[in-house]
Each structure stands twice: as structure tokens, then as C-alpha cells.
């Protein structure tokens, strides 16, 4: 992706994002493969956040097949998604604070902590990213021995280290003064532009699919939805920071309450006739997969709608009238993932 700028001296007059460089035509390819073979492909658009894409694709198929996922399967799914969310937010924070505002420390903190979460992914699913872990009917593996203990230790460590990030960056003018008041998106504009996820919540709209249309076991755990009124780059960064704390609390509740039982039910290798839509809150906003089935083993149509693409609508709006020096931090604060938008 590239951004074409028209400038008046240092001031940006017009910004045009030019997308489509990593377009692969996932939706068309998906029509020619059976539902299982689609799983690895349809989670590739966002490798840092693949479990949410995976779930969003599986949910409508399960709805059409009328397969109910067992309780333990749902818990494991939710658990992996929350670990994935922390990892993805750390990635986004590290990119924004580290690469786009020039703090190597932030970059190292974010990626170093994320490594521990990738180890958890590896232990549970066998892969560090792109898990292909959710299949229609449940999940592919049960929790391995010693996973919960390791998760508890890791969460303690991450929570401790979030304190360090707080001391070094949030209560320290070095980073805050770069991001405060830059790229302000008001509440009305955010709703008008149709942004989703942390970008929307940073503008004062506490909108989250996990609470508005609960899936998995989100209706059985207590969590808050952090939102800020300012709508600037700093609040977008802080929303992710606060959401990680909420994810840690969700994970602790899940660890405590995880039920016994089967992790998956058998499901047929067909998409029954009909149409369904999956709604999942990923770390970059709401993800939808719309699946039409015609009774064969291949979906008749798959349509994806991703958070990155929706949030990109705000970029030309935010860049208008700001200095070129502020452009990286505004771009970074959207946590834009080009492949997810182009797919």
C-alpha cells in the first residue's frame, strides 16, 4: 500500500491511500475449495490475528450445519482468541510506538512480550501463527498438560510488564506529547465514516461485538469495554493498552471456569443450502464472513468484511491539514493491516 500526498509546504492538503497491492482474491478461491481446505487460506489475510478470522469463517458454516460446539470447545476458542488479541495489540502498539514514533524500547518491549504469547499458541495449537485451529464443530486439540499453569505464569508476567510500559511511556512526556491531540476523530465523524474496533472506541463509542452480540462464552465472563472521549492517536493507543488488561482478566476467568467434556462434535463435510453471517470482534474491529451454501462441500459464496478496510476510510480524513511529520503516528494508530484490507 502507498499513500499519495498533495502538500502545501509541510501541510498535507489531500491524501489518497492506494490499496490493492496484496490482493489475492481469497473470496473467489474459496468458492473452488472445500470448507476444510478454505480454513488455512481464509485466516492468512491477518496472520497476527488469525484466530478471529478463522472463527468468523467457521461460525456461519456451523450455523448452516446446525452443529453446536461443546462448552469446552467454546472455552478453548475464546481462550485462544484472547491470547491472540493480547499478542496482536502488543504488535500494534510496538509498531506504532516503536517504528512510527521512533522508540526502539517500545518495539523491543512489545515484541519481547509477544514472544511468550506465541509460545502459548505453539503449545496449544502447534503453530506460532496461523493456527488453523478451529474446525466446524469445535477445536482440533484439547488443552495440553501444563498449559493452564504456563498461561497463568505468562499472564502474571505480562501484567507486571504492562506496568513497566505504563511507567516508561504513558506517564512519560516523551511519547505522550507526540501522540496527544494528533489525528483527532470526533464521535460524529467516527460514526459517519463507519470505523470499527479500537478506533471507534477511542472516539467515545463503546461498541464491541463481544458485548453487543455475544459469541463463544463472552456472555458468561465479566469484562469492561474501555473507551476514550478524546479520539486522538494517544487514545487509540491507550484503548489497546486497556483492552489487554481486560483480556488478561477474561483469561483468568476462563482458566478458573473451564468445564470438562468433549472439545468438538462431528460435523458433515457439506455446507447446507442457505446463508449465514459470522460476527467476531477481532483486535482490529469487527470481522464478518458471509457464507452462502448450496448443499455441496464447497461454499457457493464467501464474502469477507474486515476491520482494517473499514478503518482505512478514516485515514484521508485524518491526514487532511496535518503536518507530514504527524503522518506516521496517525497511520500507526489505525493499526492498519494491508493484507486484511486487500485480501
Partner 1 sequence: MTPVSAAEAFWEGVKHIFKRTFTLKHPYQRHEIPDGYRGRHLLYMDRCTGCGICAWICPEKCITMVPVAQEKTYPQNPQNRFPQYWYIRCCFCHFCVTPDTLVTTNPSVKPIGEISIGDRVLTHSGMYRSVRNIYKRNYSGRLYSIRPLGAPFDLKVTEDHPLLVSSRKFTKRGRFEKGPQKPLWKTPKDLKRGDYLTIPIAKEIRDIEFFEQDIEIGQPGTGKRMIRRLRLQASPDLFRLVGYYLAEGYAVRRTVGFSFGEHEREYINDTARLLEKFFGSQPKRQTIHHSTHVMLHSVAAVQFFSTFGHSSYGKRIPNSMMFAPIEKQKELIKGAWRGDGYLHQPTRSNKATYFEYVTTSRDLAFQLQQLLLRNGIVAQMGYTMHRDRRPAYIVSVRGSFVSAMAMLMDAKFKDSRTKTFSKFEIDRNYMYVPIRIISSVDVTNQPVVNLSVEGDESYVAGNVTAHNCTDYCPTGALDYTKDYDLAEYEKELIIWSPERLSKVPAAYEEYRTKFHGWTGVDHVPLSKEP
Based on the shown chain and the rule CB under 8 A, indicate whether residue 38 belongs to the binding site for partner 1.
yes
Q: Give SS3 for 124.
A: helix
Cβ of 90: how many Cβ atoms within 10 Å? 28
Which of these segments, 34-42, 199-207, 217-225, 300-308, binds partner 1 (CB under 8 A)?
A: 34-42
Which region among 17-25, 118-126, 276-284, 325-333 touches partner 1 (by CB under 8 A)?
Answer: 118-126
From the CB of 134, what's the least distance to partner 1, in Å? 10
CA–CA dist 343, 341 (Å, integer): 6
Q: In sequence order, what are the beta bridge partners of 291?
A: 276, 302
DSSP secondary structure of 249-283? HHHHHHHHHPPPS-SB----S---SEEEEEEEEET
Write out the H or E segment, with its range, that includes residue 240: helix 233-257
Nearest residue (CB) to partner 1, 12 versus 270: 270
* Alpha-carbon dihedral angle through residues 157, 158, 162, 164, given to the nearest 10 degrees: 30
- 3-state secondary structure at position 198: helix
Q: Which of 20, 194, 268, 321 binds partner 1 (CB under 8 A)?
A: 268
Mark the segment that binds partner 1 (CB under 8 A) among 32-40, 91-99, 205-213, 215-223. 32-40
Q: Which of 111, 241, 116 is nearest to 176 (CA)?
A: 241
Q: Could you say whether residue 135 binds partner 1 (CB under 8 A)?
A: yes
Among residues 112, 181, 194, 321, the one that binds partner 1 under rule CB under 8 A? 112
Q: Does 119 bind partner 1 (CB under 8 A)?
A: yes
Is residue 122 a contact residue for partner 1 (CB under 8 A)?
A: yes
How many degrees, rounded to 5, is the angle at CA 177 between CA 176 and CA 180? 75
Q: Which residues does residue 303 pair with via DSSP β-bridges, in sequence order?
A: 290
Smallest separation (angstroms) from partner 1 to the CB of 95: 17
Q: Is 36 in the site for partner 1 (CB under 8 A)?
A: yes
- Region of 89-97, 107-115, 210-218, 285-293 interacting with partner 1 (CB under 8 A): 107-115
Q: How far is the CB of 129 from partner 1 (least distance, A)?
A: 11
Helix axes 50-65, 35-42, angle to 10 degrees: 160
In three-state secondary structure terms, 334 is: coil
At 313, list the grid cell. 476510510
Of 117-125, 203-211, 212-220, 285-293, the window that binds partner 1 (rule: CB under 8 A) is: 117-125
CB of 96 to partner 1, least distance (A): 18
**Rounded least distance, CB 174 to partner 1, Å:** 7
Binding site for partner 1 (CB under 8 A): 33, 36-41, 105, 108, 111-112, 115-116, 119, 122-123, 125-127, 130, 132, 135, 140-141, 144, 150, 153-154, 157, 161, 164, 167-169, 171-174, 176, 266-270
Amino acid at each position: 500500500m502507498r499513500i499519495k500526498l498533495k502538500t502545501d509546504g509541510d501541510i498535507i492538503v489531500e491524501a489518497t491511500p492506494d490499496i490493492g497491492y496484496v490482493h489475492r482474491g481469497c473470496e473467489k478461491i474459496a468458492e473452488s475449495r472445500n470448507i476444510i481446505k478454505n480454513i488455512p487460506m481464509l485466516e492468512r489475510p491477518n496472520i497476527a490475528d488469525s484466530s478471529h478470522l478463522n472463527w468468523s469463517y467457521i461460525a456461519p458454516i456451523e450455523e448452516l450445519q446446525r452443529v453446536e460446539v461443546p462448552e469446552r470447545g467454546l472455552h478453548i476458542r475464546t481462550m485462544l482468541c484472547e491470547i491472540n488479541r493480547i499478542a496482536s495489540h502488543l504488535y500494534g502498539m510496538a509498531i506504532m510506538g516503536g517504528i512510527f514514533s521512533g522508540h526502539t524500547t517500545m518495539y523491543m518491549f512489545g515484541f519481547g512480550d509477544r514472544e511468550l504469547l506465541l509460545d502459548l499458541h505453539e503449545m496449544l495449537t502447534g503453530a506460532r501463527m496461523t493456527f488453523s485451529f478451529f474446525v466446524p464443530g469445535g477445536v482440533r486439540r484439547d488443552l495440553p498438560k501444563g498449559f493452564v499453569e504456563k498461561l497463568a505464569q505468562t499472564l502474571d508476567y505480562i501484567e507486571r510488564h504492562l506496568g513497566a510500559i505504563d511507567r516508561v511511556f504513558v506517564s512519560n512526556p516523551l511519547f505522550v506529547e507526540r501522540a496527544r491531540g494528533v489525528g483527532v476523530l470526533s464521535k460524529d465523524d467516527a460514526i459517519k465514516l463507519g470505523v470499527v474496533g479500537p478506533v471507534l472506541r477511542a472516539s467515545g463509542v463503546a461498541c464491541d461485538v463481544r458485548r453487543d452480540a455475544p459469541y463463544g462464552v463472552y456472555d458468561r465472563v465479566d469484562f469492561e469495554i474501555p473507551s476514550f472521549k478524546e479520539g486522538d492517536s494517544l487514545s487509540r493507543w491507550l484503548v489497546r493498552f486497556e483492552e489487554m488488561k481486560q483480556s488478561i482478566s477474561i483469561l483468568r476467568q476462563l482458566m478458573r471456569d473451564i468445564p470438562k467434556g468433549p472439545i468438538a462434535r462431528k460435523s458433515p463435510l457439506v455446507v447446507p443450502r442457505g446463508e449465514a453471517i459470522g460476527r467476531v470482534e477481532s483486535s482490529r474491529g469487527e470481522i464478518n464472513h458471509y457464507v452462502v451454501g448450496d448443499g455441496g462441500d464447497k461454499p457457493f459464496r464467501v464474502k469477507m468484511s474486515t476491520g482494517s478496510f473499514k478503518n482505512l476510510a478514516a485515514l484521508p480524513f485524518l491526514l487532511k491539514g496535518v503536518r507530514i511529520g504527524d503522518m506516521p503516528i496517525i497511520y500507526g494508530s489505525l493499526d492498519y493491516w494491508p493484507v486484511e484490507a486487500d485480501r
